Amino acid sequence: MSKLGNLGARLYRGEVGYDFIGKRFIWYGVSVLITITAIVALAVQGLNMGIEFKGGAVFNTPSTPVSVAKITDAAEEASGHQAIVQKLGDGKARVQIAGVDVKKSAEIKEALSEELGVPAKDINAELVGPSWGEQIAQKAWTGCIVFMILCVIYLAIAFEWRMALAALVALIHDITITVGIYSLVGFEVTPGTVIGLLTILGYSLYDTVVVFDSLKEGSKDITKQTRFTYSEMANKSINSTLVRSINTTVVALLPVAGLLFIGGGVLGAGMLNDISLSLFVGLAAGAYSSIFIATPLVADLKEREPQMKLLKKRVLAKRAAAAAKSESTGQPVDADDIEDEVPADAAPAVVGQRGGAARTQPSARSRGKGRPSGKRR
């Protein structure tokens, strides 16, 4: 833990770092590939919508030693439809059958009573109409859209519109991946899933806002200096908050992983899968998008501004002057030690190649320095 703390401190001070912005096109490519896979899965397989959205009946039985296979056969034989049976942690069973009316529900209840050897009155039956599921889906989409609009407005006011746009792209990226995972693994989509999707929107924005806040502070009056370009400052902001993002994400993922793998997998509480999978995938995707998608996208948008283009040109020109002076004196020269004498509209001029690297001509103002008369011979 002490090594991780030391690494975090060094990242924060800028002593070490990883070039996230420089390799942004790799991350863009990975995200596009994952997103396309998710969209194809949705188009081919679709989503396994729960009974709450399709309409039908749900039967909750008392504790029984009867196997899931026998319960499934009895339910499907009585209903004529596919049945989904889940064994709960206390030995009870949950049977879901789509497209069942009231009359058919009574017949299924009797068949389950006979198969399980329990009184029919002890089997709880609930009918769900498809219209109710449509209302739930509509309200979920409405809530998601309203949330995104409010977030974009807030981020545009608190930061700027480029950060708001990048955060919106990251949110859509996270939701698409999460829904695509549901389609690939075939998990049932229930109201719990919808709750999980709405919850991850906030978690997805958390790390993004942390990085944006650091970038906002670091880029204040950035055009008044010639040490960093905007992309380099964005990269510095990611590195300075990297350990904090990893720590918060891991701490949030651990309990969700317990719900998903222990509660849903080991204990058999299938309803926990509905919300835990969306939270698990969404948290991981949110941490990824804040580092590899949102911030690099902001840097790309900002670098298109004329002021940032001019800043980049000045920074590169100053570094070129330092490199030229270092080559002429044979001693390392820091760019910070070079006076900013390069015109704001000047670009470093390449005059030759040595060892595969470009060498830049020093400023004409310094050519006569160091000679007694200051004149050329």
Q: How far apart are CA 210 and CA 200, in angstroms?
A: 16
Domains and CATH numbers, the chain: 2-49+132-304 (1.20.1640.10), 56-128 (3.30.70.3400), 307-362 (no CATH)
Q: What is the pTM of this model?
A: 0.72
Q: Minimal CA–CA distance to 114: which of 60, 57, 58, 66?
A: 66
Strand duo 48-49 + 357-360: pairing: unpaired
Alpha helices in the chain (DSSP H): 2-13, 24-44, 51-54, 68-79, 102-116, 130-158, 161-185, 191-218, 230-240, 242-257, 271-289, 295-302, 306-329
Question: Contact 182/200 with Cβ under 8 angstroms?
Answer: no
Alpha-carbon distances of 24 from 20, 284, 297, rounded to whole Å: 6, 18, 8
* Stretch (H or E) spanning 220: none
pLDDT at 35: 92
Q: Minimal CA–CA distance to 50: which of 2, 11, 98?
A: 98
Q: Tell me how far the alpha carbon of residue 257 is from its chain's centroid.
A: 17
pLDDT at 6: 66
pLDDT at 141: 81
Q: How far apart are CA 135 and CA 191, in angstroms?
A: 11
SS3 category, 224: helix
Within 8 A by CB and 6+ apart from 225, the residues are none
DSSP letters spanning 251-313 = HHHHHHHIIIIIIIIIS--THHHHHHHHHHHHHHHHHHHIIIIIHHHHHHHHTTSHHHHHHHH
Question: Contact 40/46 with Cβ under 8 angstroms?
Answer: no
Alpha-carbon distances of 339 from 3, 224, 234, 321, 365, rounded to whole Å: 38, 14, 25, 10, 11
Q: How far apart are CA 10 and CA 12, in angstroms?
A: 5
pLDDT along the chain (377 residues), means of 10: 58 70 92 92 85 80 83 83 76 80 78 83 78 75 85 90 92 90 84 81 83 89 88 90 84 84 61 77 88 92 92 88 79 61 46 41 45 44
Within 8 A by CB and 6+ apart from 190, the residues are 50, 52, 53, 271, 274
Burial of 31 (C-beta count, 10 Å sphere; 0-12/13-18/19+): buried
Within 10 angstroms of residue 43's Cβ, the number of other Cβ atoms is 9
pLDDT at 373: 45
The three state secondary structure string of 118-163 is CCHHHCEEEEECHHHHHHHHHHHHHHHHHHHHHHHHHHHHHCCHHH
Within 8 A by CB and 6+ apart from 149, the residues are none
pLDDT at 340: 56
Question: Contact 184/34 with Cβ under 8 angstroms?
Answer: no
